[in-house]
Structure formats: structure tokens, C-alpha cells
Amino acid sequence: MIKQISVFLENKVGRLEAMLNILADAEINIRAMTISEDDDNGTVRLIVNNPEKAEEVLTANNFVVRTPLVIGVTVRDEPGAVRDALKIMSENKINIRYLYPLVGCPHGNANILVRVKDTERSAEILKKAGVKLFTQADLS
């Protein structure tokens, strides 16, 4: 499993940059990032090399941070590979809340991060089906 950093931001010029400056100054390396927003607020979801330190420095700088777990899934970099991995989850009645890619995919693979309700059960089902998973240790 991988600890995701979710940061809630006001949708204002400079807020994202301020958050990224804090992470850069703390030597936190971003491996994946996605942003969802509405008119007033946004949620930045990050996978970083040191989630504990990222949570600490962002909280100390008055950012609202949550740290849910996500599943790291490695699939072949070819058409249908993501579908095949996610089909296993569907067949096991696992609802996917969201997913996004990991930056940098070595050796002809693609890596995605998946958020579900029951992370541990879902990871076990994927492993039993032969899906390759990666962990926080693989990102450090």
C-alpha cells in the first residue's frame, strides 16, 4: 500500500505554488500528482518519496492534509492492460473511487494508483489474480 498526501486548497492564484515550494524546500520528490477542483476549492493528491515528512511540513504550514492509502498497480504498457487489472476489481464488487498514473514508467510498464474503500482486501484480491503491485518502498 502507498500513503497518499491529499491537500485541500483554496482555488486561488499562488496556493498550489506555495504548497509546491514547501515540498521542494523540504526536499520532497513528487512521484505522482492529480488535482480536482470546483469553483472555490481544490484537492491535490500526491504520491511522494517521503509521505511522513510531507505531511509534517504541510501541516506545520497550515495546509489541511489527509493521508489515505492507495494501491499501486503495475500493468503492461499496451492497450487493454489497465482494463484487465480493473476488471478483476469489478468482478469482485470493488468500487474504484479514483485512479491516476504514476510519473515515470520503466521497463515497458505503466503504473497507476487506485483508491478504493477496502484497500487491504482489494490488494489481496489483485495479488491472488497475479496483478503486480508496488509499495511505498518502491518509491523512496
Report, as an integer, the average pLDDT of 118-131. Answer: 94
Residues 109 and 61 in one domain: no
Higher per-residue pLDDT: 109 or 70: 70
Question: Which residue in the block uniquely carries the three cell numbers 495479488?
Answer: 127
pTM of the shown model = 0.85
73 and 60 in one domain?
no
Residue 105 has what pLDDT?
61
What percent of the chain stands above pLDDT 70?
96
Q: What is the mean pLDDT of residues 15-26?
A: 97
pLDDT one-digit tens code per residue, 55-89: 999 999 999 999 999 999 998 888 999 999 999 99
- Number of C-beta neighbours around residue 93 at 10 A: 7
pLDDT at 107: 59
In this structure, the answer to whether residues 58 and 105 fall within a common structural domain is no
Average pLDDT, the chain: 91
Q: Give the model's confidence band at 127: pLDDT under 50 very low, under 70 low, under 90 confident, else very high.
A: very high
- Using a CB cutoff of 8 Å and minimum separation of 24, what contacts does 82-89 make? 82/110, 82/112, 85/112, 85/126, 85/131, 86/114, 88/125, 88/126, 88/129, 88/131, 89/114, 89/116, 89/122, 89/125, 89/126
Cα separation of 22 and 47, whole Å?
A: 15
Considering the domain architecture, whether residues 31 and 52 belong to the same structural domain is answered as yes
- pLDDT computed for residue 106 by the predictor: 55
Residues 57, 78, single domain; the answer is no
Domain span at residue 10 reads 2-66
Among 66, 90, 119, the domain boundary falls at 66
* Residues 57 and 77 grouped into a single domain: no
Of 32, 66, 100, at which residue does a domain stop? 66
Same domain, 74 and 61: no
Reply yes or no on whether the pLDDT at 37 is more than 90: no
Cell 524546500 locates to 25
Residue 16 has pLDDT above 90, yes or no: yes
Number of domains, the chain? 2
Considering the domain architecture, whether residues 81 and 45 belong to the same structural domain is answered as no
Task: Tell whether 61 and 74 lie within a shared domain.
Answer: no
